Every structure is written in C-alpha cells, then in structure tokens.
Amino acid sequence: MSSIRCASCQSQLSDALIRQAGGSVVCPFCHRRTESLILPALYRSALNAPPPLPAAPPAEGEAACFYSPNRKATKSCDHCGVFVSDAWAAQWGTQTVCLKCLEQLRLKVKDQRFESTRTLWDNVALGLAIGPFIVAIGCICTLIGYVFAFIPLMLTLIAAPAAIFVAVRYWNAPRSIAPRGRLRLVLAIVSGLLVITGWTVSVVAIVQHWK
C-alpha cells in the first residue's frame, strides 16, 4: 500500500482509500478535507526498483569510473568530461554531471541552473534602512510596547550607514533568481542618506540649542 501525506498535518492517508473516494477524503488526524491528485510516479517510484548491485570491475578495454575505478563508466560528465559510473553521476535536467562538478556548480561557481541558495543583498540593505522604523511603528501600535520604540530608532544610527555600505558593496551582486532591478538598492541608499541627514540635523540643532 502506498500512502499520501495530508498537506495540513502530514499524516499518512491510504492511496487506495483516496482513489475509492474520488480523490477527496477527511484526514483522520486533523479532520480536514484533503484532496489529492495521485500521479503515476507513485507506483513507478525509483524506490520500487531494487537498488543496482555493486558493479563488476570493468573488463579489459572498458572505461573505468574516474572516481571509483572498480566500477564500469557508463556516462561522461557534461561539465568536466570525465567518465563516471551511475553511482557518481547526477541527471540535472538534460545534463549529466559528476557529483564533484555538481557540488562545485551549486556552491562555488553559483551557476544559476544549479544554484541552491542565494543571499538577497538588496533586501538586506533595504531591511537595514527601513526595518528599524517598521519595528518602531509596530512597538507604538501595540500601545504597551511604545516605550521600546526608542531602541529600534536608536539602532538607525548604525543601521543607516550599514544599509548604504551594503547597497554600494553589493551593487553588482546577483539579486533574486527571478530577475529584478536595483530599485531596492536605490531606496536603501536614499533612505539611509535621509536618516543620516535627520540625525545630523537633530544633533546640530541640540548643540545649537545648548549654546
């Protein structure tokens, strides 16, 4: 019996039961109606096939795996060209890459097709520039915590220059995988400059007042 997970509580639901009920059942754990679209892969999973036996060493004249010389090479890496066995190859879309290349493409080269994670520096800069104000407004809105609004407002003394630094330093860094412009970086710089101007004017005004 295969099973489908409830999207809400992750409990296991029987696929046979779902098929009998026309794709919709009530989850026995969270009591919510769950609708499932069961696909052929559920019954043709790679897990259904027995794992391949350890490959026999390559015969005389046959290509050996570059990383496991006792295995027969079945593929070549589309990136570096070495011969590899099934155990050392990964299918990535239409490409076959060896596991070393895959790691390098994902973590070091940062090829967009293989990339697994990315820091959004434009959002970091914008967060530093206007984040403290949003937190301060949040504190004021809670009525009880309005006194704590002072803390994020004081933080802007450090956050505003930091926002300008991050925006300038990562001006050319890749942004989200879905392409977008530099509006956030520009906003971060403008907001940072405004905050610094505000602080400067306030300090000068206080000093003048004391004199």
Residues forming the site for another protein (CB under 8 A) = 1-12, 15-16, 27, 29-48, 93-94, 112, 115-120, 123-124, 126-127, 131, 134-135, 144, 176-180
Decide whether 112 or 200 has the Cβ nearer to another protein: 112
H or E segment and range at residue 153: helix 150-169
Decide whether 47 or 59 has the Cβ nearer to another protein: 47
Listed in sequence order, the residues at least 6 apart from 182 whose beta carbon sits closer than 8 Å to its beta carbon are: 122, 171, 175
DSSP 8-state symbol, 96: E
Closest distance to another protein from the beta carbon of 209 (Å): 28
Closest distance to another protein from the beta carbon of 177 (Å): 6
Decide whether 87 or 135 has the Cβ nearer to another protein: 135
- Please state, in angstroms and rounded to a whole number, the distance separating the CA atoms of residues 194 and 61: 72
- Please state, in angstroms and rounded to a whole number, the distance separating the CA atoms of residues 116 and 159: 29
Q: Which two tokens stand for residue 146?
A: 């309005």
Decide whether 82 or 105 has the Cβ nearer to another protein: 105
